[in-house]
Structure 1
């Protein structure tokens, strides 16, 4: 027995030692020295207490090559998954269940567009050379080191990263902005199948006279619904960052305590592990920047230095049109375009499938753009639906734009950089130490024929789908040093001085209004402390605004318990605090009201798609205030219901659901128990891997469209937070080297790394951490130093 126990102990020790060695081999090296080919001089990489690298190089190429190397150490698997999603290559490592997602992204044309764009780029331009050096750093790391743990689990082969991969990821990011893809099918269905009276709730400029309705059959409606759902599902299932909204504001020195401008920004992006942003301080003689980088991108999307800084929000302009083409009855490969039958272009592609046979695709394109119902394969209906998308139809030198923005120390340079951002549309909010603040709605806005409403699917056989040109950048919404002393950008509909109309799927105005009301108070001098409180504001006027029309309908024939609950709602100021019961009641009621009023008309599939759109947020207060809306009648019953009966039914359904979900005691229906955030890793969707890779769950304050926009999808309790502030940044340009920020999870994407989840709890508590910048500050907070030396190839 003793001998057997000794053998067992030795075996366990050997296995443990092997496991430790295996996992340790996957960790980032942050101390010592490493040879890196193609460097011209040694590069110092000092890591601070959060694992943020501070890179000091002697020239630009060495700096970007070092960035690629250290970025890959921490985020190689994220880079791999991002390029595979964007290029339609997930099924090769995840199996047949990802074929539909791959087919969708191949159909969008991102892969083909990126390959063509990469081939025509000027390899000698500074941005191209920066990208080449960065990718070389990534590839050298990948070649020389063991593959990440996830590569081993999924059987992912190593292969070099390319310029086309970076451009493909940019396409994925742009696509995640494209709300039209998921909204236009629903709105067109409401218009054409339900009618104008139903459309009134959505506050769209709809003019029945002169509106051209494409001829769509029942299977075509099914196509559109499936495409919208596939689009949404692809983003949800990827477990990768998706842009949703954002806050940013700049306050001039006349309104700050320090007398210098203050910049605040918190882009709202789908939460994931690892987080979207990779922080790094970059420097070589004549250049320095503290930046936030996306996977496979050498230039910072957010950044600041001693002289200037910027943040971004989504413009929300509609840069994507869906177009129903008219097929030639005698030739299914021709569509009617500008008075004649023209041939559809086609190309063949193949999707590799892990554990299965390859899937062959034939992808078609009309003069308007890719035929997106090719994403449905052989089950697609007869009407080709084309997609005109600015990302595919403009020059869009976005790498050049951000390369210049990383160096823009004046208003004129920042404006020139913003002008190069053509798709997706972004608001660039900028400030500098000289006292300037600025905002540019950056996008190449298409001109559309008069009277065309791009909220709906357009008729490709007419001229309404034509794009005669683009609006000049000077006519875009923008401000520089406004007299009121501040700028707010929160995804609301902008009002350009030029007076042009800019169609878009804008967010509720309530979040922007709340920020504006506070910033407009000229009694307040802004600093880093009260700016934190504003970023962490958990309130919104939306709830009380919607409830104003509903609460009077619920005051009769109710129990004493219901009276208490309704009183809480009546006295609620819209704050989504952790200990509140009112936000729980409100958010459950929002879902039940939407379900009771709209599901019967739309059917389950279109209804589920509607829940994922921004137009629903705008529609509900209008619907609640309209007692005569046809939405109130339930088509599934012989009686004709009215607003009061539907609202009461929704209220009772809300209470019943909360009792079944959270117990019979309403005091326990607190927001903290039902509104939680889990950072999901792509492998965390499978048990028991979720216990290893996911981070959370955490009780989450804030809510849908509050400034602290920890937002969930409209649905029944409990609610999982989907997106929110991907970082919170504050820079006072009196002391720009003492900026504050936070990462929602951690800097590293390597499991068991000390920085894999080390900021997650602080983020939920609303804490901020310093972004070390000055040489003295970096030295005082350096925990590890890695030296990259020129390798033998030098």
Structure 2
């Protein structure tokens, strides 16, 4: 049976590849690439818009108003990235199955749709439109009009990906008009994943069930605050729930937590120019096309440059003529699961502190290409949506006693966050900047600031829940009211600093606030290594130039190795090969370089050690979701839980030294199978390639090498030049997460600010502009986004003029 399924999938893959090849040939002949020059007349703008593409195809959009500039941004986003925008909004809408047949793509696409439709993310985005000010709504309308001006052409060629979608639908697919909610839902989807700890609550619950309260505390590093999760209170309420089913059934691309970024800002006291420097490189999942799109918006009173997000109406990360800003994720715990107790006398109701209430109920229909529609009945409680209702399984019967409901700021239907992000780009000073950030509800970001007047600062704006009890680490009883959100932290009490005496602000997702900060933010701070390393490098030099900031972003030292390698190397080697490797590792400078063997040995050793210590404690299935080595956790286990070093599968009782030595042997065996037995020829880069996978075509053998982009990469999980391995699958060291944008803003001369994205502006893999930044990215060679209109016309690749229709 499995062979038959495999052959069927192989045949489908070959057939799909053949179709794609034919379509690609057609587009090569006909030309589906958008024109970057010419004139068009369209309804929407108030006056003419000039779009000058510089020598890198970055659009400089010159307009008479911010609304017209944003119209132009919508137009160029659609030109270069519409298929990416379409997939993003359908992912968030829970409508991918309408255009990508699960019979060919896989059942996972239906599971993702069920989760998104169940969460009601797009409903919340649609409701949030009415919460915006008239000015913000006008900007969103202008952006949507720009997108629609491009897709509204009946003769429009939408590119290879959407042409394939059209073929699969037998010609029925046609893009729908872009709506303001389509832009808001992108921000909400990011919030859901960046602040996304609700599935971590499910994971901790499973760990609690398997190894008990004391064992769970080993995984949960102390929050540094005076309140601990009351683990035992939730244990009883969770007994009747199939946590495995809930955890696995909600695991998809839209719910997996993403984190990590670097940022720092220096006052003029620490720079060569005497004016601030601001550096930022957000770390997210790698892919083709990339997440960010470089652009410049110019008009009366504004000149905004930096990284925009296709689908969004502004510059998300960048600077204007007066201020600049950068983001890292705070890892705010803004998502809580509540165990709701069903009324034993009426299953259509649930219990609250004020008595029994009826569940809210809505019906959802998921249309499936090549399949039957799927009906969903979704319940809501006073806390939020019932996640049990997202899932279906033939042998699953939901216990009558309890269900789990999700409360999350990302699901707020009165979310003004997008307005805050838009207004940041128009701010002229610290007060304007703070006023803009007051609008941000989610996701919580550590936003660093600098301006041409010489000021620097940081604020972390969001709605931070104040819980009556507990910290949201695990699902809490919902029927008592004891663990409810009582209110939110007032804006003026959120983490903030302005012109600190040190003149240096650094964040790399590690702890933001001191232990005595009065409000609870998170237990999920990132490990401190990148933050510590950046702070060290910034303080080693008295005054930094721009290129000094680039050198720090390129740094490949892995500070975690200084903590754990001495512990590992104390264990006597058990054979000659291990002795040679231990000697090599004792002399290693801890730089994760692609052309060296030591980073590969280090990563493999840690991975095998973590498996040896954890897999037989929590089970292989749960271990798969915690395979990424965690050095503080490993050190805690070796120090505090030596009993976990014993391998339960053997009759002998192993010591921690035994496990460390055996893990090294397994790591060396793994590498030898892939790179041979000569240690001197092993290379990190042969295993650690940065994988920018095409969202649709990477799984098709005949297209993978052309559609996706891979290259050997320096760096690792804890280096400032972050390139985090997958630590799972057939290529566990493949880098799948890292910097997706790098920038340095120079407030002595903003035209000298530097920008970089990994690939290119175009999402059309046949375009010369789809990967033109690749060599510069790999060599840390950045570009500027500057120039007068005359200079851009003379040196650029084209000028497009958009005119309103003449009366």
TM value normalised by structure 2 = 0.90
Q: CA deviation at 1:594?
A: 1.4
2: CA distance, partners of 1:436 / 1:520: 19
1: CA distance, partners of 2:603 / 2:24: 50
How has the CA–CA distance of structure 1 residues 464 and 546 changed in structure 2, closer, same or farther, with 3 Å as cutoff?
farther
SS of 1:549 mapped into structure 2: helix
How has the CA–CA distance of structure 1 residues 691 and 190 changed in structure 2, closer, same or farther, with 3 Å as cutoff?
closer
8 Å Cα contact 2:259-2:331 kept in structure 1: no
| 1:583 alignment partner, one of 578, 593, 599 | 599
Is residue 2:662 matched to residue 1:646?
Answer: no
How has the CA–CA distance of structure 1 residues 17 and 268 changed in structure 2, closer, same or farther, with 3 Å as cutoff?
closer
How has the CA–CA distance of structure 1 residues 689 and 729 changed in structure 2, closer, same or farther, with 3 Å as cutoff?
farther
2: CA distance, partners of 1:253 / 1:761: 32
8 Å Cα contact 2:78-2:151 kept in structure 1: yes
Report Cα offsets for 1:244-293 as digits up to 9, x if no partner. 22111110001100000001111111111111111111111222111311
Judge which range, 60-69 or 185-194, deviates more: 185-194
| 1:781 alignment partner, one of 795, 798, 802 | 795
Map of 1:755-794 to 2, 5 A cutoff?
A: 755-775=769-789, 778-779=792-793, 781-791=795-805
8 Å Cα contact 1:183-1:610 kept in structure 2: no
How has the CA–CA distance of structure 1 residues 419 and 548 changed in structure 2, closer, same or farther, with 3 Å as cutoff?
farther
How has the CA–CA distance of structure 1 residues 269 and 24 changed in structure 2, closer, same or farther, with 3 Å as cutoff?
farther
Map of 1:317-328 to 2, 5 A cutoff?
A: 317-328=332-343
8 Å Cα contact 1:48-1:784 kept in structure 2: yes
1: CA distance, partners of 2:433 / 2:190: 22
Map of 1:107-256 to 2, 5 A cutoff?
A: 107-118=118-129, 120-122=130-132, 125-144=134-153, 145-155=156-166, 156-202=173-219, 203-204=221-222, 206=228, 211-217=233-239, 220-227=242-249, 230-234=250-254, 243-256=258-271
| 1:333 alignment partner, one of 348, 354, 359 | 348
1: CA distance, partners of 2:759 / 2:482: 46
SS of 2:261 mapped into structure 1: strand
Which residues of structure 1 form unaligned runs of 5+? Answer: 1-14, 237-241
* Aligned equivalent of 1:354: 369
Which residues of structure 2 form unaligned runs of 5+? Answer: 1-20, 167-172
Q: CA deviation at 1:107?
A: 1.6
| 2:90 alignment partner, one of 80, 84, 93 | 84
Q: CA deviation at 1:774?
A: 4.6
| 1:662 alignment partner, one of 648, 672, 675 | 675
1: CA distance, partners of 2:627 / 2:384: 28
| 2:427 alignment partner, one of 396, 408, 414 | 408
Q: CA deviation at 1:190?
A: 2.4
2: CA distance, partners of 1:608 / 1:218: 25
Q: CA deviation at 1:393?
A: 3.9
8 Å Cα contact 2:128-2:413 kept in structure 1: no
Q: CA deviation at 1:597?
A: 1.2
Is residue 2:546 matched to residue 1:528?
Answer: yes
How has the CA–CA distance of structure 1 residues 220 and 298 changed in structure 2, closer, same or farther, with 3 Å as cutoff?
same
2: CA distance, partners of 1:692 / 1:670: 21
2: CA distance, partners of 1:267 / 1:623: 31
8 Å Cα contact 1:550-1:624 kept in structure 2: no
Map of 1:263-342 to 2, 5 A cutoff?
A: 263-342=278-357
How has the CA–CA distance of structure 1 residues 169 and 492 changed in structure 2, closer, same or farther, with 3 Å as cutoff?
same
Report Cα offsets for 1:45-71 as digits up to 9, x if no partner. 110111111111122322221211111
The CA RMSD over aligned residues, in Å, is 2.4
Report Cα offsets for 1:738-789 as digits up to 9, x if no partner. 2111110101112211101111222122221222245565355322111112
2: CA distance, partners of 1:324 / 1:557: 51
Q: CA deviation at 1:19?
A: 4.6
| 1:733 alignment partner, one of 738, 747, 762 | 747
SS of 2:81 mapped into structure 1: helix
The aligned length equals: 763
Q: CA deviation at 1:233?
A: 4.8
Is residue 2:525 matched to residue 1:506?
Answer: yes
2: CA distance, partners of 1:222 / 1:478: 40
How has the CA–CA distance of structure 1 residues 338 and 668 changed in structure 2, closer, same or farther, with 3 Å as cutoff?
farther
Judge which range, 764-773 or 700-709, deviates more: 764-773
Q: CA deviation at 1:632?
A: 2.1
How has the CA–CA distance of structure 1 residues 625 and 764 changed in structure 2, closer, same or farther, with 3 Å as cutoff?
farther
| 2:635 alignment partner, one of 621, 624, 649 | 621
Report Cα offsets for 1:380-412 as digits up to 9, x if no partner. 642411111112247431121012101112111
Judge which range, 486-495 or 680-689, deviates more: 680-689
Report Cα offsets for 1:644-665 as digits up to 9, x if no partner. 2222221221111111122111
| 2:65 alignment partner, one of 59, 64, 69 | 59
How has the CA–CA distance of structure 1 residues 192 and 21 changed in structure 2, closer, same or farther, with 3 Å as cutoff?
closer
SS of 2:440 mapped into structure 1: coil
2: CA distance, partners of 1:634 / 1:531: 46
SS of 2:521 mapped into structure 1: coil
Report Cα offsets for 1:110-152 as digits up to 9, x if no partner. 022122223x245x71111111011111111001122222111
2: CA distance, partners of 1:217 / 1:138: 50
TM value normalised by structure 1 = 0.91
* Aligned equivalent of 2:623: 607
* Aligned equivalent of 1:5: none
How has the CA–CA distance of structure 1 residues 487 and 781 changed in structure 2, closer, same or farther, with 3 Å as cutoff?
farther
How has the CA–CA distance of structure 1 residues 570 and 456 changed in structure 2, closer, same or farther, with 3 Å as cutoff?
farther
2: CA distance, partners of 1:419 / 1:108: 26
2: CA distance, partners of 1:188 / 1:38: 52
Q: CA deviation at 1:217?
A: 3.5
Report Cα offsets for 1:348-382 as digits up to 9, x if no partner. 01111110011111111111111112221243642
Judge which range, 179-188 or 723-732, deviates more: 179-188
Is residue 2:762 matched to residue 1:748?
Answer: yes
| 1:94 alignment partner, one of 75, 96, 100 | 100
2: CA distance, partners of 1:335 / 1:256: 61
8 Å Cα contact 1:305-1:737 kept in structure 2: no
How has the CA–CA distance of structure 1 residues 642 and 751 changed in structure 2, closer, same or farther, with 3 Å as cutoff?
same
SS of 2:318 mapped into structure 1: strand
* Aligned equivalent of 1:707: 720
How has the CA–CA distance of structure 1 residues 722 and 214 changed in structure 2, closer, same or farther, with 3 Å as cutoff?
farther
* Aligned equivalent of 1:389: 408
1: CA distance, partners of 2:794 / 2:748: 21
* Aligned equivalent of 1:8: none
Judge which range, 682-691 or 427-436, deviates more: 682-691
2: CA distance, partners of 1:149 / 1:17: 7
1: CA distance, partners of 2:526 / 2:29: 44
| 1:260 alignment partner, one of 275, 278, 290 | 275
Map of 1:451-490 to 2, 5 A cutoff?
A: 452-490=470-508
SS of 1:37 mapped into structure 2: coil
2: CA distance, partners of 1:429 / 1:18: 44
Judge which range, 751-760 or 543-552, deviates more: 543-552
Q: CA deviation at 1:339?
A: 4.8
2: CA distance, partners of 1:752 / 1:641: 56
| 2:569 alignment partner, one of 542, 546, 551 | 551
